[in-house]
């Protein structure tokens, strides 16, 4: 293969340049002009790669690495082999990411790469009443409906459908195959391919024949939100569904109608959020968390992966389990059950066979 990545890096950097960019200290100044051309994990790195170390679990990989340079904290720099240049950093992974963002800036946004140039593709369909500011890119086969407004610098991916009246801010990326309706989108919002925003919420009167409740609200997505591939967000029934500023949502998350999510939340893959629940600011949900409707999760709360939440969680608490409760309680219960099971097994093993066979033939 001619290339190991779809993302061409920027020109190589010297260790002195990397130290300056990451605010790290190059321990051996004589190596300042050594050039780095890429990034790699410790076990795959070669002499032209930068790597990092901050977890003792990977001590063997560090001892055997062929990397040209390694970002490492002062605590662990004595573990770095002599042939590897040491870049001392207070938080090595943060410094590594800072350089990665510099080297692979194109990887930070979900561009499809289908269209080699900006502008409006000949096969895009744009309604005459739609308003697009300068420097909007619309890729092939995208459809933009009546009265849509799109801000400058925004990219509408191939095959995306933007329905009537949707407003999209500036510098957004709307992934290929996404569908937006009944939605107001802020600035710098990133949607990966296949997002579906503003469809009906799941609202019915459940009595014999199920009677559908009209869903007349909107979806409001504030600035700097990122939505993973395949995420669906239902519009509200009476009030709006709101995703707060800076929130990051992983792939295949379902967000129900009337949900309010605060600022800077993190929601991992395959979570399911039922209708009319509220997440405060800086809430973190692990993968595959399910939350019942009308629940309130307080600011800064965290929920462990694969938990089921049926009760509200106070601010700042950590819960987990099925059904979720404070993690200390959950861990104590699991430990008690394990001890009970081990004790039961020990009693069974201790019973002599003759006792079980007593009275037979």
Interatomic CA distance for residues 285 and 273, integer angstroms: 10
Tokens 């800036």, residue located: 105
Helix (H), strand (E) at residue 331:
helix 327-350
Tokens, residue 281: 């600011």
Active site residue 94: no
94-100 long-range contacts, Cβ below 8 Å, gap at least 24? Answer: 95/22, 95/23, 95/24, 95/52, 95/71, 96/22, 96/39, 96/50, 96/51, 96/52, 96/71, 98/21, 98/22, 99/13, 99/18, 99/21, 99/22, 99/39, 99/50, 100/39
Q: Edge-to-edge strand order for the sheet containing 125-126? A: 125-126, 143-144, 161-162, 179-180, 196-199, 232-234, 254-255, 272-273, 290-291, 308-309
Which residue of the set 83, 257, 264, 294 is catalytic? 257
Instruction: Report the sign of the C-alpha dihedral through residues 334, 339, 342, 343, in that order.
Output: negative
Interatomic CA distance for residues 233 and 245, integer angstroms: 15
**Residues carrying an active site annotation:** 257
């Amino acid at each position: 293969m001619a290339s190991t990545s779809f993302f061409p890096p920027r020109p190589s950097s010297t260790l002195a340049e990397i130290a300056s960019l990451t605010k790290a200290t190059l321990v051996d100044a004589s190596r300042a002009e050594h050039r780095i051309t890429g990034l790699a994990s410790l076990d795959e790195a070669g002499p032209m790669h930068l790597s990092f170390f901050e977890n003792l679990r990977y001590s063997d990989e560090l001892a055997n690495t062929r990397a040209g340079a390694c970002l490492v904290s002062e605590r662990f720099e004595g573990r770095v082999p002599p042939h590897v240049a040491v870049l001392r950093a207070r938080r090595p992974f943060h410094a590594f990411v800072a350089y990665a963002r510099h080297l692979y800036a194109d990887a930070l946004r979900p561009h499809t790469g289908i269209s080699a140039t900006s502008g409006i593709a000949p096969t895009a369909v744009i309604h005459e009443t739609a308003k697009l500011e300068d420097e909007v890119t619309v890729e092939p086969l995208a459809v933009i409906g009546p009265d849509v407004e799109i801000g400058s610098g925004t990219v509408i991916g191939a095959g995306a459908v933007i329905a009537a009246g949707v407003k999209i801010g500036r510098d957004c990326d709307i992934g290929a195959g996404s569908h937006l309706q009944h939605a107001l989108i802020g600035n710098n919002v990133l949607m990966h391919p296949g997002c579906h925003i503003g469809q009906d919420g799941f609202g019915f009167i459940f009595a014999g024949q199920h009677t559908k409740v009209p869903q007349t609200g909107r979806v409001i997505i504030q600035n700097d939100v990122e939505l993973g591939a395949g995420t669906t967000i239902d519009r509200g029934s009476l009030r709006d569904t709101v995703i707060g500023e800076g929130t990051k949502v992983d792939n295949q998350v379902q967000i129900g109608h009337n949900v309010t999510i605060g600022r800077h939340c993190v929601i991992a893959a395959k979570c399911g959020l039922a209708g009319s629940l509220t997440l405060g600011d800086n809430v973190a949900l692990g993968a595959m968390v399910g939350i019942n409707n009308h629940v309130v999760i307080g600011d800064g709360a965290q929920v462990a992966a694969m938990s089921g939440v049926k009760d509200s969680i106070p601010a700042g608490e950590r819960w987990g389990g099925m059904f979720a409760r404070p993690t200390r309680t959950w861990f104590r219960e699991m430990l008690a059950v394990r001890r009970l099971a081990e004790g039961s097994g020990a009693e069974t093993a201790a019973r002599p066979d003759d006792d079980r066979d007593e009275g037979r033939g």
